Amino acid sequence: MESAKNLPVAVIGAGPVGLAAAAHLLERGLEPLIFEAGTTAGAAIEHWRHIRLFSPWRFNTDAAAVRLLEAAGWEAPRPTALPYGGELIDNYLAPLAALSRIASRLQTRARVTAVAREGLDKTHIKGRDTTPFLVRVEHADGETRDHTVAAVIDASGTWSTRNPLGSSGLPAIGEQAAGDRISAPLPDVTRRDRASFASRRVLVVGAGHSAANTLINLADLAREEPETRVLWAVRGDSASKVYGGGDLDGLPARGQLGGRVRRLVEAGKIELHTGFGISSIKSVDSSVTIGAVDGRTIVADVVVPCTGFRPDLDILRELRLNLDPAVEAPMELGPLIDPEFHSCGTVPPHGAKLLAHPEKDFFIVGMKSYGRAPTFLLATGYEQVRSVAAALAGDQESADTVHLELPETGVCSTAAGTSCAVPATTSVVASDAESGCCAAPEPVLVGFPTGVAHGRSGTNN
Ligand SMILES: Cc1cc2nc3c(=O)[nH]c(=O)nc-3n(C[C@H](O)[C@H](O)[C@H](O)COP(=O)(O)OP(=O)(O)OC[C@H]3O[C@@H](n4cnc5c(N)ncnc54)[C@H](O)[C@@H]3O)c2cc1C
């Protein structure tokens, strides 16, 4: 950050990883400038505050953020408890964002619309590495302003860009026109959004954690509002990936959720349609007809798209990125998390080196760093931003020594047929350059992928 030394570091997004990045930058004596599109920190999680996390508190908080909070008298929640999204906000993110050291650097209702090098478009190389970044922001007052910063950490997540329902990665024919029949990805069907689902025919599409939660909540709703019909479409030939190992599953959170979904299907409370790759959607009066590639149709009143998410790369168009062509994660990270080849969320700890782009001092972190892969865990993101802050501060040794603590035993199998057992609660320290899939895995996936692209085959749907 030579010539831009005294400028702040822009952090895009005040989710858990963006706020953690700010905490690490502060510890390093760097000045964060946090832009959050929503009205509060944790704005994306606000949409799923009614959903329970599948990893316990001790893996959901960042060490530097906790140090800031504890200095202000904050008491950590019980480490083994599984919080709801709302609790993650109320008991951790909101208090963190309210600390004066964070609040004074956080701008809400501030949406980043573009990032570039000041005075240089993407094609210009001369002096690029030492030229400050320009971050264009739409502010709450309706004005758009350019901010000059030394470095940029993009922690803007993927919530705002869900995968389409169509099975080719494109919207199904008619999907946009039928937009008013398609809900948010994780509606609160029994409370906040109840009126839109009670006594309706609801089609849930997808085969991840979000689909399982929504199906269970819809079945609860149908008990109270018997006219409600719960329909479920998955592209794969069976829903076994969602069911997991049921009550015998080595991962209890996954087993319980999957077991409940299976019992509801077997009891006829959920009508399952397998092999249903969606090709078209057509609104007819107050209902919608969903067509499959093989000609089958389902008629519903509302569609819930639990199809996973993809990164918004448009705002980064003027930057020189190096992304994996399939997963849209940083090039070297992509193969380690590609859901076509990895059956679980196991990746090595990694940091600034693995996340680097040709654009010096620019990093994508958090959920967005996984691109289209659905298996991101907060603990991974917290280690990413610790390493990135160290790198920006010039502490390369600390940046390159990546650590991760493993919560429990898990097994990672790859398409190549290899697998490896991960020892229980082990601290892993690895060089960012040396880590490999089975050498140094991260916390095992305690649950399903948080969203699964309906269009991917052979993985989770
Ligand atoms: C239902 C669900 C359950 C999950 N459960 C777990 C779990 O149990 N354990 C676990 O480890 N992980 C879990 N995850 C995965 C992941 O940890 C979360 O998605 C987490 O919220 C990711 O944090 P983040 O900070 O990277 O992104 P987000 O939380 O998505 O935060 C990004 C922030 O950036 C803001 N933003 C977006 N675009 C812009 C812009 N252009 N300008 C400014 N601000 C912008 C958003 O408003 C948002 O506040 C879960 C995810 C989901 C969806």
Same domain (yes/no): 315, 295 = no
Q: What is the pTM of this model?
A: 0.89
Residue type (1 letter), 227:
E
- Residue corresponding to tokens 């998410």: 309
Assigned domain for 258 exists:
yes
Same domain (yes/no): 79, 208 = no
Assigned domain for 453 exists:
no
Which of 282, 305, 328 is the last residue in one of the domains? 305
Ligand 1 center to 278 CA (angstroms):
27
Q: How many CA atoms lie within 13 A of 215 on its CB side?
A: 32
Q: What is the pLDDT of residue 432?
A: 59
Ligand 1 center to 16 CA (angstroms):
7
Same domain (yes/no): 317, 217 = no
Q: What is the Cα–Cα distance from 314 to 438, expressed in whole angstroms?
A: 34
Q: Hey, whose CA ends up nearest to atom 51 of ligand 1?
A: 450
Same domain (yes/no): 46, 68 = yes
Using alpha carbons, select from 142, 406, 179, 166 the residue that is nearest to residue 302: 179
> Which CATH number fits the domain that encloses residue 133?
3.50.50.60
Q: What is the pLDDT of residue 181?
A: 97
Assigned domain for 459 exists:
no
Same domain (yes/no): 400, 288 = no
Q: Does the beta carbon of 55 lie inside 6 Å of ligand 1?
A: yes
Letter string b/e over residues 158-190, b meaning 16 or more CB atoms within 10 A of that residue's CB: bbeebbbbbbeeebbebbeebeebbbebbbbbb
Same domain (yes/no): 38, 143 = yes
Alpha-carbon distances, residue 270 vs 59, 223, 247 (angstroms): 33, 12, 19
Ligand 1 center to 436 CA (angstroms):
26
Q: How many CA atoms lie within 13 A of 147 on its CB side?
A: 28
Q: What is the pLDDT of residue 208?
A: 87
Q: Hey, whose CA ends up nearest to atom 27 of ligand 1?
A: 157
Q: Does the beta carbon of 345 lie inside 6 Å of ligand 1?
A: no
Assigned domain for 456 exists:
no
Same domain (yes/no): 375, 394 = yes
Assigned domain for 74 exists:
yes
Same domain (yes/no): 233, 315 = no
Q: What is the Cα–Cα distance from 261 to 269, expressed in whole angstroms?
A: 9
Residue 375's pLDDT band, with cuts at 50, 70 and 90, is confident
Atom of ligand 1 nearest to the CA of 158: 30
Range of the domain at 79: 2-160+309-439
Assigned domain for 455 exists:
no
Token pair recorded at residue 214:
């929504």
Letter string b/e over residues 133-155, b meaning 16 or more CB atoms within 10 A of that residue's CB: bbbbbbeeeeeeeebebbbbbbb
Q: What is the pLDDT of residues 162-184, one digit of tens each?
A: 999 999 999 999 999 999 999 99
Atom of ligand 1 nearest to the CA of 55: 8
Assigned domain for 419 exists:
yes
Q: What is the pLDDT of residue 338?
A: 84
What's the chain's average pLDDT? 87
Token pair recorded at residue 153:
């950490």
Q: Does the beta carbon of 450 lie inside 6 Å of ligand 1?
A: yes
Q: Does the beta carbon of 239 lie inside 6 Å of ligand 1?
A: no
Using alpha carbons, select from 182, 223, 116 the residue that is nearest to residue 454: 182
Q: How many domains are contained in the chain?
A: 2
Same domain (yes/no): 53, 38 = yes
Assigned domain for 144 exists:
yes
- Using CA atoms in the order 351, 353, 357, 361, what is the torsion angle rounded to 10 degrees? 80
Q: What is the pLDDT of residues 430-440, one digit of tens each?
A: 555 444 333 33
Same domain (yes/no): 340, 269 = no
Q: What is the Cα–Cα distance from 155 to 371, expressed in whole angstroms?
A: 12
Q: Does the beta carbon of 381 lie inside 6 Å of ligand 1?
A: yes
Same domain (yes/no): 50, 193 = no
Helix (H, G, I), strand (E, B), or coil: what is residue 171? coil
Atom of ligand 1 nearest to the CA of 209: 1
User: With 70 as the cut, is the pLDDT of residue 391 above it?
Assistant: yes
Same domain (yes/no): 28, 155 = yes
